[in-house]
């Protein structure tokens, strides 16, 4: 069978060969443009809900009537979606055990600090790509081979057929394993292909164990494992995904792993077709440690806090420190503080706690750094205790981890920090650095003129002088409000030259346009603006859809999620639930099939 699917995450043609002999599936082909993206007429612009195929304005129903928005509430067309390397690793853990999963992570460098680090959304990095191209296919092949070898080495445990399995038991295992790996029942054609692999490999190698080994190898490199389908009942027609497709989509969204038995049972009964059926599964899964750990990790990537592992800071206190300093090792301590902050804040209270919470968990290192007295004496520096933050700290933006990960090696950057907040909290498009010579000459001249000026003087020049003001008016204020924190997040009231720092700013219109006297007020005002909820909704929807590159906060799909979030308790869990029951998540526009 051949598929031709046109979409933003369409897959490259892929056939699965075992030792150059047989194919588990004949072929799957896709139409992609030079950028690996689908025909634009079938992407976000071709969404349902009244939007035209070229974009335009749609409407969603709000509490006070229709709300204007861009596009429709369905974003993607029928497509195949590649699993990220982290999802493949977690799939192996579910199919085998954590021993093999850890070996895969180590041998192939899959991890937050490794060659294949998590990105936001999951397929956003050049290494992940979004399609299995010839450059990354060898890695998938090696992982599949490792799974086959592990099966052979642990034959009795994995197959349940003993050390000398019979053909009947071996073939039964292969079919059962494939169904679990494919995350749905097998078709008759797939069963026939699997048995062909088994019998032809056995004929060549003469033993049942090796036939099992290579059958597992074939299964683990098959497109049915490495991709998720989003075809629905008919790839040619717009409409809902099947229950099995939703089971996989939902599970990889929330846990980065394959669906559990409860989801598969619901899919078997075709009970994942309505918000009323999907919602309880979202609530159930979000209560599990695996889902929370995954989504906390997603937010870590959202705010680019993984940069902490590699950011260069010219300050001894950030790394090893000296005996003369009251604190050392801020890098490691702040990384753990951020982890605990997400773990606590995301699941307790409204989402705006990310910016307004006055509580954090710190150790003795951060207590000295922040100037806080711990409630009790910890056993050692690895003990983190929850504390009430002082008046000059609240939320994520005043944590050492966020501040250091968005600094230059020697000084904080008003512009860089402003750009991060502009993009991460309000989803505004940051402008590219100018390239025309006249502007570059003016920038060089200004750097010389303001070499010894205060950050405020430089800020006021940028927001009042053409051509700088056209861009810097939109984000510099955020960075200036953070100027009371140095490169690694120490609070200060004067700059290195001893001049007083005034963090008072007038915020851009996208953040409410009011005056904020410091970072604390700025975070409070940003969290209260509709743009914050719309931005996080947009980004988490992009995470759920694996890429979401055509999404904007004003898209009808993101606005629909933000509307449901705002009408509820405004928690992170509610936002995730709104995404999972949305049309953008459960429905697709028509693709082309042949």
Tell me the residue length of the chain.
594
> Percentage of the chain with pLDDT > 90?
65
Across the chain, mean pLDDT equals: 85
Q: What CA–CA distance (Å, rounded) separates 259 from 111?
A: 21
* Alpha-helix runs per DSSP H in 232-288: 243-255, 261-268, 275-286
The per-residue pLDDT for 286 is 98
The per-residue pLDDT for 313 is 76
Task: Kindly state whether residue 136 falls inside one of the protein's structural domains.
Answer: yes
pLDDT in tens, 480-537: 999 999 988 999 999 999 999 999 999 999 999 999 999 999 999 999 999 999 999 9
pLDDT of 411 strictly over 90: no
The per-residue pLDDT for 70 is 86
pLDDT in tens, 471-488: 999 999 999 999 999 988
| Segment 397-422 mean pLDDT | 88
Contacts of 432 (CB under 8 A, 6+ apart): none
The per-residue pLDDT for 148 is 97
pLDDT in tens, 419-440: 999 999 999 988 888 788 888 8
Task: Kindly state whether residue 100 falls inside one of the protein's structural domains.
Answer: yes
How many domains does the chain contain in total? Answer: 1
HEC states along 497-546? CCCECCCCEECCHHHCCCEECCHHHHHHHHHHCHHHHHHHHHHHHHHHCC
The per-residue pLDDT for 288 is 97
- Please list, residue by residue across 79-111, b when 16 or more beta carbons sit within 10 angstroms of its beta carbon and e when fewer do: bbbbbbbbbbbbbbbbbbeeebbeebbeebebe
Task: Kindly state whether residue 210 falls inside one of the protein's structural domains.
Answer: yes
Task: Kindly state whether residue 170 falls inside one of the protein's structural domains.
Answer: yes
The per-residue pLDDT for 240 is 97
Task: Kindly state whether residue 472 falls inside one of the protein's structural domains.
Answer: no
Task: Kindly state whether residue 115 falls inside one of the protein's structural domains.
Answer: yes
Residue 537's alpha-carbon distances to 65, 145, 285, 455, 583, in angstroms, are: 21, 39, 19, 33, 14
Query: In this structure, are residues 471 and 433 in contact, taking their beta carbons and an 8 Å threshold?
Result: no
**Top-confidence residue, 33 or 392:** 392
Task: Kindly state whether residue 147 falls inside one of the protein's structural domains.
Answer: yes
Expressed as residue numbers, the domain containing 214 is 83-230
Asked if omega into 111 is within 30° of 0 (cis), the reply is no
The per-residue pLDDT for 431 is 86
- pTM, rounded to two decimals: 0.87
pLDDT in tens, 93-148: 999 999 999 999 999 988 766 666 778 888 877 777 777 788 888 999 999 999 99
Token pair for 176? 């059962």
**Top-confidence residue, 572 or 6:** 572
Task: Kindly state whether residue 576 falls inside one of the protein's structural domains.
Answer: no
Question: Among 27-31, 124-128, 553-557, whose mean pLDDT is lowest?
Answer: 27-31
Q: What CA–CA distance (Å, rounded) separates 331 from 268?
A: 48
pLDDT in tens, 138-186: 999 999 999 999 999 999 999 999 999 999 999 999 999 999 999 999 9
Q: What CA–CA distance (Å, rounded) separates 331 from 187?
A: 52
| Segment 447-457 mean pLDDT | 88
């Amino acid at each position: 069978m051949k598929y031709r699917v046109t979409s933003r995450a369409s897959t490259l043609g892929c056939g699965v060969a075992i030792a150059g002999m047989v194919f588990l599936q004949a072929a799957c082909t896709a139409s992609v443009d030079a950028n690996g993206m689908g025909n634009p007429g079938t992407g976000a612009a071709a969404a349902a809900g009244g939007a035209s195929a070229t974009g335009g304005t749609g409407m969603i129903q709000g509490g006070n009537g229709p709300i204007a928005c861009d596009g429709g509430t369905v974003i993607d067309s029928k497509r195949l979606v590649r699993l990220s390397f982290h999802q493949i690793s977690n799939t192996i853990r579910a199919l085998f055990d954590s021993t093999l999963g850890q070996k895969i992570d180590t041998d192939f460098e899959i991890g937050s600090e490794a060659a294949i680090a998590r990105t936001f959304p999951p397929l956003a990095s050049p290494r992940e790509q979004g399609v299995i191209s010839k450059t990354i296919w060898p890695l998938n092949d090696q992982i599949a081979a490792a799974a086959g070898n592990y099966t052979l080495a642990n034959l009795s445990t994995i197959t349940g057929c003993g050390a000398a399995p019979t053909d009947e038991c071996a073939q039964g295992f292969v079919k059962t394993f494939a169904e679990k790996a494919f995350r749905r029942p097998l078709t008759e054609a797939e069963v026939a292909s699997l048995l062909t692999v088994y019998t032809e490999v056995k004929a060549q190698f003469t033993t049942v164990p090796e036939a099992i080994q290579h059958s597992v190898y074939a299964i683990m490199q098959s497109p049915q494992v490495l991709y998720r389908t989003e075809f629905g009942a008919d790839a040619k027609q717009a409409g809902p995904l099947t229950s099995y497709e939703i089971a996989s989509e939902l599970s990889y969204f929330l846990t980065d792993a394959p669906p559990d038995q409860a989801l598969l049972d619901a899919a078997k009964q075709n009970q994942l077709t309505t918000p009323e059926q999907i919602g309880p599964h979202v609530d159930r899964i979000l209560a599990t440690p695996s889902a929370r750990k995954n989504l906390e990790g997603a937010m870590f990537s959202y705010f680019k806090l993984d940069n902490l592992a590699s950011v260069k800071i010219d300050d001894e206190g950030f790394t090893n420190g000296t005996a003369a300093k009251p604190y050392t090792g801020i890098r490691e301590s702040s990384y753990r503080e951020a982890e605990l902050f997400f773990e606590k804040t995301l699941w307790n209270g409204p989402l705006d706690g990310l910016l307004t919470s006055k509580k954090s968990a710190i150790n003795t290192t951060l207590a000295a750094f922040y100037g806080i007295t711990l409630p009790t004496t910890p056993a050692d520096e690895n003990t983190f205790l929850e504390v009430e933050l002082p008046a000059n700290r609240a939320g994520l933006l005043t944590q050492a981890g966020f501040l250091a990960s968005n600094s230059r090696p020697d000084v904080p950057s008003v512009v860089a920090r402003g750009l991060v907040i502009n993009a991460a909290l309000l989803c505004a498009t940051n402008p590219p650095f100018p390239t025309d010579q006249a502007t570059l000459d003016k920038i060089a001249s200004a750097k010389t003129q303001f070499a010894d000026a205060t950050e405020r003087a430089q800020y006021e020049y940028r927001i009042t002088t053409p051509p700088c003001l056209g861009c810097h008016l939109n984000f510099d204020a955020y960075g200036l409000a953070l100027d009371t924190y140095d490169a690694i997040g120490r609070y200060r009231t004067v700059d290195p030259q001893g001049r007083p720092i005034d963090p008072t700013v007038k915020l851009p219109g996208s953040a409410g346009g009011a005056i904020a006297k410091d970072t604390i007020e700025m975070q409070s005002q940003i969290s209260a603006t509709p743009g914050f909820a719309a931005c996080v909704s947009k980004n988490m929807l992009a995470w759920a859809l694996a890429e979401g590159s055509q999404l904007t906060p004003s898209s009808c799909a993101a606005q629909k999620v933000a509307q449901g979030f705002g009408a509820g308790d405004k928690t992170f869990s509610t936002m995730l639930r709104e995404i999972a029951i949305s049309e953008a998540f459960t429905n697709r526009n028509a693709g082309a099939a042949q």
